[in-house]
Amino acid sequence: MFNTNRDVDSFAIPEQLRVDQLSFDGHSVTVHASTSDPAARCPLCARLSRRIYGCYVRTLADLPWCGAAVRLRIRVHKFFCDEPTCERRIFAERLDDVARVYARGTDCQRGALEWIAFALGGEAGARLARELGLLVSPDTLLNRIREAPFAEAEEPGRAVEGDPPAAPGRRQGQGYLRMDRGQS
């Protein structure tokens, strides 16, 4: 989820990227970057490839900076997979430290939107996000809640009645009900 640490590392550019240029058009900041790895692993067979097929520009939305929208325009390489048994002949390098495959926003932006979605829900979360400079619909926030991984539910316990040991603020003889998670 979203990193709430406010140290210098949370503002660092991932090692995988090299910033080539910054531009500001009055409303948004665009970070032009490229990957610095000369090779990449095929996502199917995991074979390392250095043979470049070409490149393309991937655009990702990031967290706003001083109220201005931030866009990352990353030049990503495509590689040939030279493994004869692999089904994939051409693949694009993955931006594991930056964004998920096919995502249009960074992992940092996704984490922030998850926090907002869980705290406020759809409509109120979208209004707050808009004030913070994140353009998102209420439906997208609700989808973030639906897609979030949840911890496994524990098995239900059984109710046990009894008198607890005398505790501060309690009188002896006050009954209580607790849930035991032990074996029956």
Which residue matches tokens 């900041």?
A: 29
- 5-32 pLDDT, tens digit per residue, is 544 454 567 888 999 999 999 888 999 9
Which residues face 29 on adjacent strands? 24, 70
Q: Count Cβ neighbours within 10 Å for each residue of 49-77 and write b for 16 or more, e otherwise.
A: beeeeebeebebbbbbeeeebbebbbebb
Lowest mean pLDDT among 10-19, 34-43, 85-94: 10-19
pTM above 0.75, yes or no: no
